Structure formats: structure tokens, C-alpha cells
Amino acid sequence: MTLSDAITARTSLRSYLRVPISAEQRLELGKTIDQSNQRAGLHIQLICDQPEPFASLTKSYGMLTGVTNYLVFAGPETDPDLDEKCGYYGERIILTATTMGLGTCWVGGTYDRDFCLRHLEPGERLVCVAAIGHVPAERGGRENLIHNAPHRSIKTAAELASGLSHAPAWFMAGIAAVQRAPSARNRQAYRFVKKRDNSVVAHLTEETPFGLVDLGIAKLHFELGAHGGAWTWGDGGVFHKAAEEKSCGAVIWRMSEGRREYLLARHNGGHWSFPKGHVESGESEADTAAREIREETGLTARVDTSFRQMVTYYPKSGVVKDVIFFLASPTGGTEHAQEEEIAQIGWFSFQEARSLVTFATDEEVLLAAESCLAQRAAET
């Protein structure tokens, strides 16, 4: 599940099982939290096995039960954009948790704020928290709905945006993602305006206690829905859509003396990765992968599109790049590295390949490929 899929899957959940978050899940969440803190200078923390802030509250709005883990959203009190950054980066963590199958709920009011202040360093301000944890498989129970607003009403695109006539598809997709954005008391008190130069301005339509947190959350949703771009902070912040690039490639594998081996290429830039390259006009994704394999390694290969993993990253400012990886197995040709781009190619065991690949995203693709192939082997 991608973060964009998580936008559709997420809903605020208020009833939790007292099942601990596993060490693996804590590690995974920790990575996203560390990244956010580093990028934005925040002090977001995951607090586990501590029910106190939610133990004795019986307010009518959004009573939470069974909460034992929560996220603390805090940062320097001198940062003028603290609320918005907590919303933007916090929602990235919430969506990551959703991809991991965990339930979440942003919480601004119904928790013991004084208790949570103990997690702050001097000079920091607590913005809000979020409940996080395992939820019953049946997630639609009454307790998960807001007491006095049982139906989650979604604002229309026209209520949330201006400039919809003649708007490009990416703007419409951005607004559709904003429609799904959580907000305090479901207010969504903001508006996204498309300008003639295709930039987008987001501003608040009324003053509410968590308005800037809501705005940060909505900005992230818009960016994910629009598929890449960058915002400036603040009420009236501007978004510029990133240019889109697409490459295709493959995790090439073979069996050698009873063990699975993977082909990696050391690019002239020094990094180890899989063969891949830009889609040329008229090509299907599989055509591009096969051509790039041939050009970069000299091998012909059967491309298996039933395995398809997409990696998205920003290669430079203002550009978002999708790379699609398939599985492939060699069918012929003569192995040789394409001089202009590739310094070296080689076959490696899974463990060797895992420690050799340079980018974390490639490691994830390799892990997915290995688990897919191992499962297939077990089934035959």
C-alpha cells in the first residue's frame, strides 16, 4: 500500500486493542519519525505502552478507548510554522502507520495534555497528539464514530477549491485527496485556489484552534494526490507542481547451483542498482524494461509483469520520478556492461545484493522480489 492508497484507507479510529506495537513496526515508524524530525526540526515522538493520557476521559466528543500508544507532536516554540509542520509531517507518519495496518486518530482535545508535557524539552511547545495502535478487525463500530457527528461528511470539491473549470487532472486529484484529509471537528476550514500560472495557493477560511495543523495535513494530502510538488509554509502558502519523469527496469534473477542470484549494475556515478531507464515514446513499461536490460547488460530477458513495484523519489528540486520495477529472467545474449552508463555488472546472492544496493528504495524492491520468488518456490 502506498501513501496515496493510505489516504483512501485511513479513517479516525477511537477503539483500540491492548496489543503492543511490535519491535519491527516501532522501527519502521521510527524511520519516518526521525526523517520528519530531521527535515523540519520537530520533536515528534512515539510513546508506547503508556495508557495514562487517555485513561480517565469521558468527554462527549470523540472518546477514545484502549489507547496505550500515542504520537506526541511538538517542536521549538519559536518556530512560526510549528502547527503546520506538525500537521504535514504528522500526517505522513499517520499514513505510514495506515500502510502498516495500524489504526490512528489525531487528538487535539480529548487527552490529558498536562501528562504529555513531560515528553517535552525546555523551549518546546506541545501541539497535539495522535492515538496509534492495533484496532479490531471490524473497524466500523459505533465507538469509532464521533459521538455527535456519526456521519463523516465530506466537503465537495467546489467547497474546497477555486479554479476547477479547466483545472488540470493533477489539481483535481489533489483536491480529491484533500477531501479525505482529517481535520479537528471535521471543519476543513481551508480553500485551495489554482492560479493562472498553475501554482496553487492554500489559505484558511476561518480561525479555528487547530486550523494550521489541519492546513498542514491538507497540504500533504494535496501534494500526494497531485503526485509531487512543493509547498511554502503558512496561511497563503504556494504549491508548485513537480515535473513528472518515469523510468522502468527489472530485478533480474537466475538460479545458479541451487541458489537464487540477482544481477546488479554499478552505474558510472558509483551506485549499485538494477538496470533501468527512461520510457521512450510508444513503449509499454515492459518494453522499456526489456530494452534497458538489453542495452545496459547485453542480455535478453523475459519480463514478468505480474511483479510490479513502484518507487517514487525527487531526483532534483522540482522533479518527481516514478521508477517501475518488474522481475526478469535472462533468455540469451552476451553479458557485457554498457560503457556510457555502467561500470560493472555482476551476479550476487540475496544477502550480497542486499548489502551492495546503494539506495534504501532499491533494497525494499529487492526484499519484495526475494519474498515473492521464495513464496513461488515454496508453492511449487
Q: Give yes or no for residue 50 binding ligand FMN (CB under 6 A).
A: no
- What are phi and psi for residue 142, nearest 5 degrees? -55, -35
Q: Give yes or no for residue 57 binding ligand FMN (CB under 6 A).
A: no
| Among the listed residues 91, 106, 99, the one whose alpha carbon sits nearest the alpha carbon of residue 40 | 91
Identify the residue among 107, 177, 202, 293 touching ligand FMN (CB under 6 A). Answer: 107
CB of 45 to ligand FMN, least distance (A): 17
The residue (of 62 and 228) whose beta carbon lies closer to ligand FMN is 62
The residue (of 66 and 228) whose beta carbon lies closer to ligand FMN is 66
**Angle at 59 (CA atoms; ends 208, 70), nearest 5 degrees:** 75
CB of 149 to ligand FMN, least distance (A): 7
Q: Give yes or no for residue 11 binding ligand FMN (CB under 6 A).
A: yes
Here's the x/- map for ligand FMN, 256-295, by CB under 6 A: it reads as ----------------------------------------
Contacts of 338-342 with C-beta under 8 Å, sequence gap 24+, read 338/295, 338/296, 338/297, 338/298, 340/268, 341/267, 341/268, 341/296, 342/265, 342/266, 342/267, 342/268, 342/275, 342/296, 342/297
Identify the residue among 3, 6, 7, 12 touching ligand FMN (CB under 6 A). Answer: 12
Spatial neighbors of 249 by CB under 8 A, at least 6 apart, are 274, 275, 276, 277, 288, 289, 292, 293, 323, 324, 325, 326
CB-nearest residue to ligand FMN: 62
The residue (of 12 and 69) whose beta carbon lies closer to ligand FMN is 12
CB of 286 to ligand FMN, least distance (A): 38
Q: Give yes or no for residue 108 binding ligand FMN (CB under 6 A).
A: yes
Q: Give yes or no for residue 217 binding ligand FMN (CB under 6 A).
A: yes
Instruction: Note whether 358 and 318 are within 8 A (CB).
Output: no
The residue (of 231 and 274) whose beta carbon lies closer to ligand FMN is 231
Question: How many Å apart are CA 72 and CA 130, to the nearest integer?
Answer: 7
The residue (of 124 and 292) whose beta carbon lies closer to ligand FMN is 124
Count of residues interacting with ligand FMN (CB under 6 A): 23
CB of 51 to ligand FMN, least distance (A): 16
Q: What is the dihedral of CA 261, 267, 272, 275, to 10 degrees?
A: -50
- What are phi and psi for residue 228, nearest 5 degrees? 100, 140
Q: Which element (helix H / strand E) includes 188?
A: none
Interface residues with ligand FMN (CB under 6 A)? 11-12, 14, 61-62, 105-110, 128, 146, 152, 182-186, 210, 213-214, 217
